[in-house]
Amino acid sequence: MKTVDLRVVHKGGAPAEPFRLQGWVRSHRASKQVSFIEFSDGTSITHLQLVVEPALPSYAAIAARITTGAAVEVIGTLVDSPGGKQKYEFRVSGIQLVGDADAATYPLQKKGHTLEFLREIQHLRPRTNTLGAVFRLRSAAAMAIHRFFDEQGFYYVHTPIITTSDAEGAGEMFHVTTLDLANVPKIDGHVDFSKDFFNAEASLTVSGQLEGEIVATALKKIYTFGPTFRAENSNTARHLSEFWMIEPEVAFLDLEGNMALGESFIKYLITDVLDHCEDELAFLHAREWVKEPGLMDTLKALANSTFEKLDYTEAIRILEKSGKSFDFPVKWGIDLQTEHERYLTDEHVKGPVFVVNYPKQIKAFYMKVNADDKTVRAMDMLVPRLGEIIGGSQREERHDVLLNRIRQMGLPEANYWWYLELRKFGTVPHSGFGLGFERFLMYASGMQNIRDVIPFPRFPGFARF
Ligand code: 4AD
Ligand code: MG
């Protein structure tokens, strides 16, 4: 007998003859005439109503154990539903209990648990409607990302997770070591990393970009998609210590081309997840914490819009003229804070916007310096409600200018010898960006906290599960 997933059943793929379902009980309502089991197998946002004759022997034997959370296997057929609530239901001809769920202790008894509470039970929260929908969306979005780049002729590159270079030069890295922490070898008061596993100071990567540039200047168009780690003490709803980033890198591409790539990428992703997960999105958008009416329409309209572009200098002028009193005062040279980004997107542009040409002091060492020697060819894509979801730039391809920047910023020059050498042998203009995968998921789903769009969030003070 065929076992069928609910997503197939709901797409009209149920066989006419009896078939099997495997999943979990959401609720069970027993009565003398007929019993109802609300059933879900996690493959679809929509549940299925199972209808059981109480006298059915396989049911009668286990009826008391068909509790919320219990795992069951049922056999039956799909029939038209007489009630108005659903079009069809499943008439059970046989049921088997696979795994009990103790009614007194199973935490997901009643509906409406807070997302905060669910973060404490990450081993069970994928079984809720909300987190289930998020994780199916996450999977679909990951597939869409690979599809987009494949269709555009990009090669997928795996950059290292353990690295000895700081790609952002910001020093926010987690150490990777096998040194005995109770007895650390030292020279002149400093840790002697030559005694460590890699004979060097190693860390978890903050970005695959630098290695991505190596391969882009060989295969032309590449992208990475992997986990990245930041040891920044940002306890916010938009920061994780471990997050996933998509980083395309393209040889012979300038900043304008880079923005065009970012714009078509976001549009493709939105269109694709609307195609594959509209039910999940509709469900998520209707949650009580989503305060944005018409989010679905906004997403649909995005595909046909043109993203605005603002020079950083112009953005500062707009913020100064806004009449708003920001917590962080605005003046040329500051890094844009979330409140500034949100004014630009939510109130000024009312949509996504690229901000370009930031002051060089506030951006990473690898960005191409403009002719004014004050700004760099950086681009951030900001979206309503979140602010930055993409950070990217045209890279500095001139050897001497790059070397100067590394020195000026006090970075350990020796660590970047290979990065500099790319500028000695067949250097080309090239550009790329990083999309924070979880930021994108927040944007599409309307989820308010980044900890709820990744199955196992890590943030300061928390790495459980
Ligand atoms: O702006 P960022 O730091 O840029 C880079 O890492 C570049 N090397 C990318 C490149 O040009 N290849 O990070 C890129 C994006 C941000 O725009 C944001 O969406 C996300 O990564 N991001 C985070 N997401 C979650 N938690 C954090 N702590 C994040 N830090 C950055
Ligand atoms: Mg950034």
Q: At what angle do helices 295-302 and 255-285 cross, to 10 degrees?
A: 150
Output the CA 242–ligand 2 centroid distance in Å. Answer: 15
Which amino acid is it at 400? Answer: D
Q: Is the pLDDT of residue 283 over 90?
A: yes
Cβ of 248 closer than 6 Å to ligand 1, yes or no, is: no
Segment 436-440 mean pLDDT: 98
pLDDT bucket at 303, cuts 50 / 70 / 90: confident
Mean pLDDT for the chain overall: 96
- CA atoms of 434 and 459, how far apart (whole Å): 20
pLDDT digits (tens, 9 = 90+) for 214-227: 999 999 999 999 99
Cβ of 391 closer than 6 Å to ligand 1, yes or no, is: yes
Mutate which of 245, 353, 433, 447 for ligand 1 pocket (most atoms within 8 A of beta carbon): 245
What is the token pair recorded at 285?
């958008």
Segment 344-372 mean pLDDT: 96
DSSP secondary structure code for residue 335 in this structure: P
Looking from the CA of residue 393, the nearest atom of ligand 1 is: 11
| CA nearest to 441, candidates 175, 164, 133 | 133
> What is the pLDDT, as a whole number, of residue 150?
98
Cβ of 207 closer than 6 Å to ligand 1, yes or no, is: yes
| CA nearest to 439, candidates 240, 258, 262 | 240
Mutate which of 228, 243, 255 for ligand 1 pocket (most atoms within 8 A of beta carbon): 243
Q: Is the pLDDT of residue 404 over 80?
A: yes
Cβ of 157 closer than 6 Å to ligand 1, yes or no, is: no
- The dihedral region occupied by 11, where left means phi > 0, alpha psi between -120 and 50, and beta the remainder, is alpha
In which residue are the tokens 């001139």 written?
A: 398
- The dihedral region occupied by 69, where left means phi > 0, alpha psi between -120 and 50, and beta the remainder, is left
Do residues 420 and 402 touch, judged by C-beta distance below 8 A?
yes
In which residue are the tokens 């928390």 written?
A: 462
Q: Residue 171 in 3-state DSSP?
A: coil
Q: Which ligand is nearest to the CA of 170?
A: 1
Q: Is the pLDDT of residue 2 over 80?
A: yes
pLDDT digits (tens, 9 = 90+) for 154-186: 999 999 999 998 889 888 999 999 999 999 999
Q: Is the pLDDT of residue 304 over 90?
A: no
